[in-house]
Amino acid sequence: MQGGLGSGSPTLEQVAALAGVSRATVSRVVNGSPKVLPETVAAVERAIGELGYVPNRAARALVTRRTDSVALVVPEPDSRVFSDPFFAGILRGISMTLAPTSSQLVLLIEPAEGDDQRLLRYLRGGHVDGAIIVSHHGRDNVLQELAQLPLPIVFSARPLGVEVPVASVDVDNVAGARTAVEYLLSKGRRKLGTVAGPLDMTAGLDRLTGYQEAMKEAGIEQAVAYGDFTADGGEQATLRLLDQHPDLDGIFVANDLMATATLRVLSHLGKRVPEDVAVVGFDDSVVATTTTPMLTTVRQPVEKLGARLAEMLLAKLAGADLTSPEIYDTELIIRGSA
């Protein structure tokens, strides 16, 4: 037995006895109260370490109304979550930020047409202290309901159709897309199409807007086909785009995963990249350097976005009143495809 005090798991009373303080003082230290002298905190922490005491999280939650758990909600099928490098980058950023804290991460994956009410019941039920919502779709009223929950919540982009102010983190998708299209124009490409993302997502809508703005300013006819940010969706959209506009000499694709499919379709059709058709993606994910040729793409700092989402949620849990979006810049990374 560690510390020589009794048998079984160490108790709060044993920690108090070893530290020479009251049980209530130990409880305050364990629960992070600021109303304890530093030397007392040090004595209690030494006793906890010597005894190997582990707080009873369930009992603590009853007292503090805190679960020390936060949810990462991704309303996407698991097949997409585990195949798109974007989610891995977001998760790394969140995990690194939460690691030094007591907060545990709970991953909630919901199919795009899943049971929204089940998700809302879970979040309302006191199972987590707060939530980060990533890759949300502007469908039904679920985003509005999420934004109005009595729970600290941060969104990975501005939620479409939500009328109340919310905290969110994103990149300037419109400017990033404009940069991609303007680069293609600067290379002499004049027949430019886009494989756009879904219009019920902020990224899909904003990246299409950037393409449209740049094309309108250049006075060039637009050519659009819509995908769903997956490789399969990108392949089908690219086939439709080239069937309708076979003479394209440049394609801006709204994410890297769809762009890998665009490159495969062009190769299958016997079109050389970039000689016949130049291609630019968006994300600068790990797949951008695995294609042939390697993919020119718009870089967004995915891990930084994930870290900032977690930082904002921790701040809200501590009482900060955050209700504004934070927007980060993108960067064009030039490689062989354009």
What superfamily does domain 2-64 belong to in CATH? lambda repressor-like DNA-binding domains (1.10.260.40)
The confidence band for 242, taking pLDDT boundaries of 50, 70 and 90, is: very high
**d(Cα 25, Cα 43) in Å, to the nearest integer?**
11
pLDDT, position 53: 77
Q: In the chain, at which residue ranges do the beta strands (DSSP E only) sit?
A: 69-74, 104-109, 130-133, 153-155, 167-171, 192-196, 224-226, 250-253, 278-283, 296-299, 325-328, 331-333
Average pLDDT taken over every residue of the chain = 88
SS3 155: strand
Q: Does pLDDT of 333 surpass 90?
A: yes
CATH of domain 173-300: 3.40.50.2300
DSSP letter string over 89-113? HHHHHHHHHHTTSSPEEEEEE--TT
Contact 111, 67 (CB under 8 A): no
The answer as to CATH 3.90.650.10 being correct for domain 69-171+303-328 is: no
Q: Specify the pLDDT at position 268.
A: 96
Instruction: List pLDDT tens digits, range 60-112.
Output: 554 546 678 999 999 887 888 888 999 999 999 999 999 998 888 999 887 54
pLDDT of residue 145: 83
Question: Given pLDDT bands bounded at 50, 70 and 90, which one contains residue 306?
Answer: very high
- Work out the angle at residue 247's Cα, subtended by the Cα atoms of residues 208 and 184, and round it to the nearest 5 degrees: 50
Assess contact for 281 and 298: CB atoms under 8 A: yes
Q: For residue 162, what pLDDT is reported?
A: 83
Give the pairing type, strands 296-299 and 331-333.
antiparallel
Q: For 201-234, give the DSSP string.
A: SHHHHHHHHHHHHHHHHHT----EEE--SSHHHH
Instruction: Round to the nearest angstrom and report the end-to-end CA distance of the chain.
Output: 67
pTM to 2 decimals?
A: 0.79
Instruction: List C-alpha distances in Å: 283 to 103, 206, 299.
Output: 29, 14, 5
Give mean pLDDT, residues 282-288: 96
298: pLDDT strictly greater than 90: yes
CA distance 205 to 315: 29
Q: Answer whether residue 192 shows pLDDT above 90.
A: yes
Where exactly are the structural domains of the chain? 2-64, 69-171+303-328, 173-300
Distance of alpha carbon 236 from alpha carbon 226, whole angstroms: 9
Q: Would the pLDDT of 229 be above 90?
A: yes
Task: Please determine whether the domains at 2-64 and 173-300 fall in the same fold group of CATH.
Answer: no
Task: Kindly indicate the confidence band of residue 5, based on its pLDDT and cuts at 50, 70 and 90.
Answer: very low
